[in-house]
Amino acid sequence: MIFRNDNHGALFEKEIRYHKGCSRKMTAALFLLTADSRLWHQAENHIGTNEIDITAMQPRRLDAMAYVCFAVAKDIITGSKTVSVTELADSSMLSPRYFLVIQTAMLIRGYGLNAANRLLFTDGRNQDEL
Handedness of CA 101, 107, 110, 112 (dihedral sign): negative
Largest CA distance in the chain: 42
Residue type, 24: R
- Taking the CB of residue 66, how many other CB atoms lie within 10 A of it? 22
Report whether 9 contacts 95 (CB < 8 A).
Answer: no
Which DSSP state fits 62?
Answer: -
Nearest residue to 32 (alpha-carbon basis) of 94, 92, 125: 94
Given a cut of 80, is residue 123 above it in pLDDT? no
- Give the per-residue pLDDT at 88: 84
What are the tens digits of pLDDT across the range 92-112?
878 888 899 999 999 999 999
pLDDT at res. 92: 82
Residue 74 near residue 80, CB atoms below 8 Å: yes
Distance from chain centroid for Cα 84: 16
Instruction: Grade residue 126 by pLDDT with cuts at 50, 70 and 90.
Output: low
In eight-state DSSP terms, residue 26 is H
Burial class (CB in 10 A: 0-12, 13-18, 19+), 1: middle
Question: Is the pTM higher than 0.85?
Answer: yes
pLDDT per residue over 15-63, tens digit each?
999 998 899 999 999 999 999 999 999 999 999 988 999 999 999 999 9
pLDDT at 91: 84
